[in-house]
Amino acid sequence: MTILEGFRRLPRELRDQIYEEYFILQGGYHYNHKTNKLLTAKGKAIDLNLRLASRQTAAETRGLALKLNTVNFSTVYDSDLNQRAGHFNSLLNLINEWKGRYLLREAPRSGLFDDQSIIHTFFLF
């Protein structure tokens, strides 16, 4: 019998305790805005290799690392990030404009609204 087979024969409650010991990190996770990744409090890569042991282990531990650890973010100023945020905002505005145009064009066809309610909703508020 291999170690993995023996591990899978343990009661689920005991496996869950082992998973918690493996995944809980002192200090939780910290977001590094330069690399766009989560790291340990000491700045090292997060080790989730246990999830690769088997499909059963992957299923039993899905989402567990984020559930058990605090994710820490810090404020930053980065001119590149500022530019990306501006582009993202422009895209959101464009998408909202397209949604509004689509709704105005398609709402009368749906039969859910009459012309007066569409005019009242979109032009008076």
pLDDT tens digits along 45-71: 999 999 998 999 999 999 999 999 999
- In tens, the pLDDT along 5-28 reads 888 899 999 999 999 999 999 999
pTM here?
0.58
Where are the extended beta strands (E) located within the chain? 29-32, 37-40, 71-72
**pLDDT-derived band of residue 91, with 50, 70 and 90 as boundaries?**
very high
Of 28-32, 35-39, 112-116, least confident by mean pLDDT is 112-116
Dihedral angle, C-alpha 32, 38, 41, 43, nearest 10 ° = -60
